C-alpha cells in the first residue's frame, strides 16, 4: 500500500507542477504571507519589501462560487461543469524588480520556455494554433513515474486581448477592471486520473521601468474519489499551495 500511495503522491505533485509551469520571476529574498481571504486585497507596502502573498482553498463548487461568485469567470473550458469533483483555488501576488521585457512573448510563449519553467518536463509535441495560442503535449517525469498532459497556452499583450471576452471578464471580476500589459492563460482539459480540468491566469502590470506586479489565479478540479482515497494522509490544499510556492521559488534560482 505504501508503494501505491507513493506513486499516487508522485503523480499528484507532478501534475500540479506541470500545471503551474508559468513564467514567474521573484525577488531573491522573500517571505510568504498566507492570506485568509481567497480574493485578498493588494498590499503594495508588503510586496515592496519582497513578500509573496498567497491564498488557497479546497471547496465544493457551491461553497466556492457561493462565497466568491466572481471566480466563475475563470471558467473557459467547462471547469465548473463537472460532477464528482472539488475545487482547489489559489491567488498568488508579488512584485519583481524586472522590466516587462523579461516576460516577452519570445521568452516564455514557446515549448522551450515551457520546459525551462518546470523540472523534468519535456514537450513531446506542440502546435501553433494562432498568434496567441500554442497547444502542447508535455511529459512530466518524477522518479520512475511519468505521464502526459495536454494544455493550451495563451499569451496576450494588452492590445491583443481587448476583444477576448474570457480575458476581459476575468479582469473585470478579479482585477478590478485594470488592463495589465500582459496576460497569460494555461487551460488543461486532458490532465491525469487525479484531476479533470485546470485553468491558470497570470497578469503582468508594469508599474515602473523595472517594477512588475504579477497576479495569478489558479483552479483545479480534483476527483472526489481521489480525495477519499488519499486525504487521510495528505492535505491537498496545503500541498497545492506549497507546490505553487515551490515552483515560484525555484525560478528565483534560474
pLDDT digits (tens, 9 = 90+) for 34-60: 999 999 999 999 999 989 999 999 999
Question: What pTM was estimated for this model as a whole?
Answer: 0.85
pLDDT digits (tens, 9 = 90+) for 194-207: 788 889 899 999 99
For residue 234, the domain's CATH number is 3.30.530.20
Give the count of domains, the chain.
1
Distance of CA 55 to the CA centre of its chain: 12
Left (φ > 0), alpha (ψ -120 to 50) or beta: where does 81 sit?
alpha
Q: Given a cut of 80, is residue 135 above it in pLDDT?
A: yes
Q: What is the per-residue pLDDT for 125?
A: 92
The Cα–Cα gap between 229 and 226 comes to: 5
The Cα–Cα gap between 31 and 210 comes to: 21
The Cα–Cα gap between 86 and 76 comes to: 17
Average pLDDT of span 109-121: 75
Cα separations in angstroms, 225 against 65, 82, 230: 21, 14, 9
pLDDT digits (tens, 9 = 90+) for 218-229: 999 999 998 998
Q: What is the per-residue pLDDT for 92?
A: 92
Specify the residue for cell string 476581459. 168
Q: Given a cut of 60, is residue 143 above it in pLDDT?
A: no
CB 151 within 8 A of CB 186: yes
Q: Which structural domain range is residue 130 located in?
A: 2-252
Average pLDDT of span 234-245: 81
Average pLDDT of span 72-80: 94
Amino acid at each position: 500500500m505504501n508503494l501505491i500511495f507513493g506513486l499516487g503522491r508522485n503523480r499528484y505533485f507532478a501534475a500540479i507542477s506541470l500545471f503551474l509551469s508559468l513564467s514567474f520571476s521573484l525577488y531573491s529574498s522573500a517571505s510568504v504571507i498566507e492570506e485568509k481571504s481567497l480574493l485578498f486585497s493588494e498590499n503594495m507596502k508588503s510586496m515592496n519589501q519582497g513578500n509573496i502573498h498567497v491564498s488557497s482553498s479546497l471547496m465544493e463548487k457551491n461553497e466556492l462560487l457561493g462565497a466568491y461568485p466572481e471566480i466563475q469567470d475563470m471558467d473557459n473550458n467547462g471547469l465548473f461543469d463537472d460532477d464528482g469533483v472539488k475545487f482547489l483555488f489559489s491567488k498568488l501576488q508579488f512584485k519583481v524588480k524586472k522590466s516587462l521585457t523579461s516576460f516577452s512573448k519570445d521568452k516564455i510563449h514557446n515549448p522551450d520556455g515551457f520546459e525551462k519553467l518546470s523540472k523534468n518536463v519535456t514537450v513531446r509535441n506542440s502546435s501553433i494554433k494562432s498568434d496567441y495560442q500554442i497547444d502542447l503535449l508535455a511529459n512530466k517525469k518524477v522518479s520512475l513515474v511519468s505521464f502526459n498532459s495536454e494544455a493550451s497556452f495563451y499569451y496576450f499583450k494588452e492590445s491583443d486581448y481587448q476583444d477576448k471576452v474570457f480575458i476581459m471578464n476575468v479582469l473585470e471580476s478579479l482585477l478590478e477592471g485594470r488592463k495589465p500589459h500582459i496576460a497569460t492563460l494555461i487551460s488543461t482539459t486532458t490532465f491525469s486520473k487525479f484531476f479533470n480540468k485546470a485553468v491558470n491566469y497570470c497578469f503582468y502590470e508594469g508599474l515602473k521601468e523595472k517594477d512588475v506586479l504579477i497576479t495569478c489565479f489558479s483552479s483545479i478540479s480534483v476527483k472526489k474519489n481521489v480525495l477519499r482515497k488519499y486525504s487521510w494522509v495528505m492535505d491537498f490544499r496545503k500541498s497545492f499551495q506549497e507546490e505553487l510556492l515551490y515552483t515560484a521559488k525555484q525560478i528565483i534560482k534560474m
